Amino acid sequence: MAEDEKQTAAAKQRIITHMNSDHQDSLVMFLQVYNRLSSSTAKSAQLEDVSLSDMVIKAGDGARYTIPIEPPMKSLLEARHRFVDMHNHCLSSLGISDIKIEKYSVPHGHFIVIFAVCLATYVSFSRRENFLPGSLLYDLIFKHFPRFTLFCYDIQPLLISLMIGIHACEATYMALYRLRPYRVPFLSGLWWTWMTSCFIEGFGSFQRFDALVRQEKAKKEQQKPNLSGKQ
């Protein structure tokens, strides 16, 4: 009997250690879905205890929450499959992907050209005075192209308004349908980097983001799912 208790305690500790070190994102989602916590409250979640019928998770605010495991497990050997099922249920409930993007893809190749043109357009058309004598841009560049400069002066209000409006819509779409589903933390440095990039260059950022998603999916297909470690 004592030997069984010792093995159970060892198995429990392996599960707790593995979940805290490798699958904290799952614990955060468990709190969000099963205990209705906000993502900010659930962050830094730590598994403190697990039994056949429930688990105890400490949230970022220091409070402890119990999540029932239904139906109860017959053995801790079932933990891997149960946690995988709970993980997938949380992904579905939250409307997010099992893929997590954790880096920014710097513009390269033709993306650099697109980024540079868009940024130059923002700077040039940011104020109508840039196309009048006396401005730095006029004296350096536009005075050499009088007809083109006059055309730019005439369309400046419309062009900059359209550009800001279109790119703001694209940035909003990026936040809702790329960054959130692929678990880029809201208002994090990475979130702001992608949002700024999208606002400047538009569609090119989507292409690079989607390329990262394809790369991560390819990596995941080569790996076997493992949520509880070797038991």
Is the domain of 119 the same as that of 204?
A: yes
230 lies in some domain: no
69 lies in some domain: yes
Q: Are 64 and 57 in contact (CB under 8 A)?
A: yes
Among the three residues 64, 94, 124, which one is the final residue of a domain in this structure? Answer: 94
Is the domain of 74 the same as that of 117?
A: no
Is the domain of 86 the same as that of 115?
A: no
Count how many domains the chain has.
2
* Rounded-to-integer distance, Cα 185 and Cα 29, Å: 13
231 lies in some domain: no
Is the domain of 83 the same as that of 122?
A: no
226 lies in some domain: no
104 lies in some domain: no
Low-confidence ranges of the chain (pLDDT < 70): 1-4, 224-231
* Rounded-to-integer distance, Cα 231 and Cα 103, Å: 32
**What pLDDT does residue 3 have?**
54
105 lies in some domain: no
Is the domain of 139 the same as that of 41?
A: no
Among the three residues 70, 94, 118, which one is the final residue of a domain in this structure? Answer: 94
Is the domain of 120 the same as that of 21?
A: no
Is the domain of 35 the same as that of 70?
A: yes
Is the domain of 180 the same as that of 122?
A: yes
164 lies in some domain: yes
Range of the domain at 21: 2-94
Is the domain of 147 the same as that of 207?
A: yes
Is the domain of 118 the same as that of 29?
A: no
CATH number of the domain residue 21 falls in: 3.20.180.10
Is the domain of 90 the same as that of 134?
A: no
Among the three residues 67, 94, 121, which one is the final residue of a domain in this structure? Answer: 94
199 lies in some domain: yes
Q: Are 90 and 29 in contact (CB under 8 A)?
A: yes
**What pLDDT does residue 229 have?**
47
Is the domain of 165 the same as that of 115?
A: yes
DSSP letters for 40-95: HHHTT-EEEEE-SSEEEEE-TTS-EEEEE-SSPPSSGGGHHHHHHHHHHHHHHHHT
